[in-house]
């Protein structure tokens, strides 16, 4: 099956003449820690983002950085654990999470984009009250600390950056009603932003080629009902469950389509957006 919006070409070079058609399309991209790779991969990713911007698409990046947080916690000998896919976030852990996400990870991405001629601006969900959160309990209702559940997104700051030709790069931190800082799962944060922005596409970059069927083949097109069935019968499991749940929530919130794809594939985003065959699993309601 073919992609149906900007999918007019069989190859990337064939697609170039068509690019200007997609003037203004908002593409929210979740760039996870496992998808980031080495400096060369980061440079290639940054070049693709700048190209998208030059083609008048409007990329909004929301990044993760779980592995980088783990490394820093390890260096500081602070123990860490996950419950239901969320990091139990004590005040000590929160300090490190903010330092790593808003500091080194965010600035590495901003720097990589700017080195390719883009105008990236780094911010977190705390800036301009972008992501207001309340506290997310653990899977059994237990306390898992300062983990945020986005309850209100104020996308005005992102829109003003897009209007001024900047590329926003968002670290997944949130702010509580009383000014407290929350640690938000990167997928969750990106999904909430994609919904609030009514994104044309929400690309979830991960470390598998897409949602796979029982035989291990990537399913290129999925509906929300199909996703629910695959989850019920156990085909979708583990880390893919929160990812597809995030995808469905983003669709229900107003995103046009979500794609789960392998961020380590060179030019993954461009292949998905600008070729007929796409590059992962496209999910619609």
Residue 172 contact, options ligand X2W, ligand ADP, none, Cβ 5-8 Å cut-off depending on partner type: ligand X2W
Sign (positive/negative) of CA torsion 252, 137, 190, 214?
A: negative
Of 35, 278, 60, the residue nearest 163 (C-alpha): 60
When asked if residue 141 is in the footprint of ligand ADP (CB under 6 A), the reply is no
Site pattern 213..242 for ligand ADP (x: CB under 6 A): ----------------------xxxxxx--
Applying CB under 6 A, among 55, 171, 208, 268 the residue interacting with ligand ADP is 208
**Tokens read off for 200:** 């044309």
Residue identified by tokens 């170039």 is: 16
When asked if residue 132 is in the footprint of ligand ADP (CB under 6 A), the reply is no
Task: Report the run of H or E that residue 85 belongs to, with start and end.
Answer: none
Helix (H, G, I), strand (E, B) or coil at 282: strand
Applying CB under 6 A, among 15, 25, 32, 184 the residue interacting with ligand ADP is 32
Residue closer to ligand ADP (CB basis): 51 or 189: 189
Of 48, 96, 18, the residue nearest 271 (C-alpha): 48
Residue 168 contact, options ligand X2W, ligand ADP, none, Cβ 5-8 Å cut-off depending on partner type: none
Q: How far apart are CA 84 and CA 265, in angstroms?
A: 28
**Tokens read off for 103:** 């500091």
Applying CB under 6 A, among 14, 39, 142, 207 the residue interacting with ligand ADP is 207
Residue 110 contact, options ligand X2W, ligand ADP, none, Cβ 5-8 Å cut-off depending on partner type: none
The residue ranges that bind ligand X2W (CB under 6 A) are 32-34, 64-66, 69, 86-87, 97, 147, 172, 183-186
Q: How far apart are CA 126 and CA 71, in angstroms?
A: 24
């Amino acid at each position: 099956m073919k992609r149906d919006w900007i999918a007019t070409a069989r190859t990337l070079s064939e697609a170039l003449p068509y690019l200007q058609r997609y003037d203004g399309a908002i593409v929210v991209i979740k760039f996870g820690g496992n998808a980031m790779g080495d400096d060369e991969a980061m440079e290639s990713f940054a070049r693709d983002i700048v190209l998208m911007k030059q083609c008048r698409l409007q990329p909004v990046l929301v990044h993760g950085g779980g592995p980088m947080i783990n490394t820093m916690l390890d260096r500081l000998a602070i123990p860490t654990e996950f419950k239901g896919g969320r990091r139990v976030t004590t005040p000590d852990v929160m300090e490190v999470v903010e330092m790593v996400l808003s500091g080194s990870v965010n600035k590495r991405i901003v720097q990589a984009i700017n080195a390719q001629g883009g105008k990236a601006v780094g911010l977190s969900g705390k800036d301009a009250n972008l992501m207001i959160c309340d506290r997310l309990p653990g899977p059994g209702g237990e306390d898992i600390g300062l983990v945020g559940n986005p309850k209100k997104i104020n996308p005005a700051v992102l829109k003003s950056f897009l209007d001024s030709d900047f590329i926003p790069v968002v670290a997944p931190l949130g702010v509580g009603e009383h000014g407290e800082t929350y640690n938000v799962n990167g997928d969750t944060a990106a999904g909430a932003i994609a919904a609030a922005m009514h994104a044309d596409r929400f690309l979830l970059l991960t470390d598998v080629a897409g949602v796979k069927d029982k035989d291990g083949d990537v399913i290129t097109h999925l509906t929300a009902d199909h996703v629910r069935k695959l989850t019920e019968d156990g085909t979708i499991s583990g880390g893919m469950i929160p990812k597809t749940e995030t995808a469905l929530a983003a669709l229900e919130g107003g995103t046009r389509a979500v794609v789960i794809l392998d961020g380590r594939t060179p030019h993954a985003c461009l292949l998905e957006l600008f070729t007929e065959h796409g590059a992962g699993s496209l999910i619609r309601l």
